[in-house]
Amino acid sequence: MKNYDVKDLSLSREGRLRINWAGKEMPVVKLIRQRFGKERPLAGVRISACLHVTTETANLAMALKEGGAQVVLCASNPLSTQDDVAAALVDYGIPVNAVKGEDNKIYYKHIITALKHKPHITMDDGADLVSTLHKDYKKLAANVIGGTEETTTGVIRLRNMARAGKLIYPIIAVNDAQTKHFFDNKYGTGQSAIDGITRATNILWAGRKVVVCGYGWCGKGIAKRAQGLGAQVIVTEVRPIPALEAAMDGYQVMHLIRACEIAEVFITTTGDMNVIDRRHFLKMKDGAILANSGHFNVEINIAALESLAKSKKRTRSSVDEYTLRDGRRLYLLGEGRLINLAAAEGHPASVMDMSFANQALCLEYLTKMKGKLKPAVYPVPEEIDQRVGGLKLASMNITIDSLTREQKKYLASWEEGT
């Protein structure tokens, strides 16, 4: 019986070429893959992965398979699947259930198919797979050694589950590794969100007034890249310290409602809901562009936008034009889903190299720790984080100084002062 659901298997050759291209930018994952091929640390381990089906994820999945794992993959967002990659993975012997543009019903059907693999390990990006298991397939937890979570929003959901006493197996918060969020969230989202908006609209950034909602790891990256292209960046925040940081980094900081009167492009990346809401749409200028780069499509209140609009039409492949009753037109990109994946290719491979090296090494760690971890959200072991950083630096041919014996002694002492 067919154990996959992809758009078109004949896209496989194109997918394979693109996977290989991304692989050239992923030297750390390559090293892990070579070692996994020899040592087979994941022999017989069943993995259900719910990740964006991209060229980078393909390189990770192939490394896990070479390590002996039986991997199945579904999408962590209905719009992020690269159909050619899905086809190539099926050819490679990794069942994929994901089709770009699938509706919510099919999205969850694919998650359930991945769960029916009876995983020993779950890999998630946003915690939809884990929450489905916890809500409707609890019995499967008996087999589960543990899981990993890729993104900020997923980690928040899992911590809430743990706090409520609902989490039933251990999960490692890959997002919280320094070699993940310092780079993936900041430089990856920074570049790819701008890329997605550019591909969707072909706007010139220079001179444009751009609002970034949320000055966390992703927001910092997006603001910096938009500014680098000549945009005038406004930041909105709800916490004083990131707001202060944004002000001292040289951006204007103000209430979103005020920014609506002057800005032309709005990018949310908060992990929060209804950040851009009805009252904001009512103030925006004709032609305003709205994009989200946070995990879920809840940051822009699309239902409110729909209710304000007298008509809606698709004007470009990732652009929906909403005409409000007073004639103003607002442009929603990528249906409010993470724009870097909906309208572009997601993060560049070089940065996913670190995120996915953490993933692969954490899976190896979880199998070694089988039965020893409690149901809780764990950090990535420091040793893994440091190792990934060291390997990445080496792959970039960068060497750094080391402490002398005298410096080590000084840094470990307290007696010496003025």
Ligand X SMILES: NC(=O)c1ccc[n+]([C@@H]2O[C@H](COP(=O)([O-])OP(=O)(O)OC[C@H]3O[C@@H](n4cnc5c(N)ncnc54)[C@H](O)[C@@H]3O)[C@@H](O)[C@H]2O)c1
* Amino acid at the residue 326: D
Identity of the residue, 12 or 293, whose beta carbon is nearer to ligand X in the bound complex: 293
Identity of the residue, 12 or 236, whose beta carbon is nearer to ligand X in the bound complex: 236
Burial of 335 (0-12, 13-18, 19+ CB in 10 A): middle
Burial of 138 (0-12, 13-18, 19+ CB in 10 A): exposed
In angstroms, give the least distance from the CB of 247 to ligand X. Answer: 14
C-alpha distances (whole Å) from 100 to each of 6, 273, 323 are 9, 24, 27
Identity of the residue, 175 or 367, whose beta carbon is nearer to ligand X in the bound complex: 175
Does residue 257 touch ligand X according to CB under 6 A?
no
Does residue 82 touch ligand X according to CB under 6 A?
no
Identity of the residue, 237 or 364, whose beta carbon is nearer to ligand X in the bound complex: 237
Neighbouring residues of 349: CB distance < 8 A, sequence distance ≥ 6: 21, 22, 23, 24, 25, 26, 55, 56, 59
Structure-token pair, residue 174 = 């890959």
**Contacting residue, 57, 132, 185, 350, with ligand X by CB under 6 A:** 185
Task: Say if strands 209-213 and 232-236 run parallel, antiparallel, or are unpaired.
Answer: parallel
Identity of the residue, 82 or 189, whose beta carbon is nearer to ligand X in the bound complex: 189
Does residue 215 touch ligand X according to CB under 6 A?
yes
Nearest to 292 by CA among 348, 211, 226, 347: 211
**Contacting residue, 15, 78, 214, 336, with ligand X by CB under 6 A:** 214
Does residue 15 touch ligand X according to CB under 6 A?
no
According to DSSP H, which parts of 240-329 are helical? Answer: 240-248, 256-262, 278-283, 302-308
Total residues contacting ligand X by CB under 6 A comes to 28
Identity of the residue, 218 or 343, whose beta carbon is nearer to ligand X in the bound complex: 218
Instruction: State the distance between the two ends of the chain, measured CA to CA, in whole angstroms.
Output: 76
C-alpha distances (whole Å) from 89 to each of 36, 74, 84, 160, 367 are 18, 11, 9, 34, 24
Segment interacting with ligand X (CB under 6 A) among 2-10, 101-109, 265-273, 380-388: 265-273
Q: Select the residue whose beta carbon is closest to ligand X and give its number.
A: 216
Identity of the residue, 12 or 269, whose beta carbon is nearer to ligand X in the bound complex: 269
Residues in 339-368 at the binding interface with ligand X, rule: CB under 6 A = 340
Tracing tokens 């090494």 back to the chain, one arrives at 361
Residues in 140-169 at the binding interface with ligand X, rule: CB under 6 A = 151-153
Does residue 321 touch ligand X according to CB under 6 A?
no
C-alpha distances (whole Å) from 283 to each of 37, 133, 197 are 57, 42, 22
**Contacting residue, 78, 119, 147, 216, with ligand X by CB under 6 A:** 216
Binding mask 323-342 vs ligand X (x if CB under 6 A, - otherwise)?
---------------x-x--
**Contacting residue, 95, 146, 242, 336, with ligand X by CB under 6 A:** 242
* Amino acid at the residue 61: A
Number of residues that this document lists for the chain: 418
In angstroms, give the least distance from the CB of 125 to ligand X. Answer: 8
- Phi, then psi, of 323 in degrees rounded to 5: -100, 120
Identity of the residue, 70 or 151, whose beta carbon is nearer to ligand X in the bound complex: 151
Identity of the residue, 215 or 356, whose beta carbon is nearer to ligand X in the bound complex: 215
Task: Say if strands 252-253 and 309-316 run parallel, antiparallel, or are unpaired.
Answer: unpaired
Segment interacting with ligand X (CB under 6 A) among 217-225, 315-323, 350-358, 369-377: 217-225
Positions that interact with ligand X (CB under 6 A): 151-153, 181, 185, 189, 213-219, 236-239, 242, 269-272, 275, 293-295, 338, 340
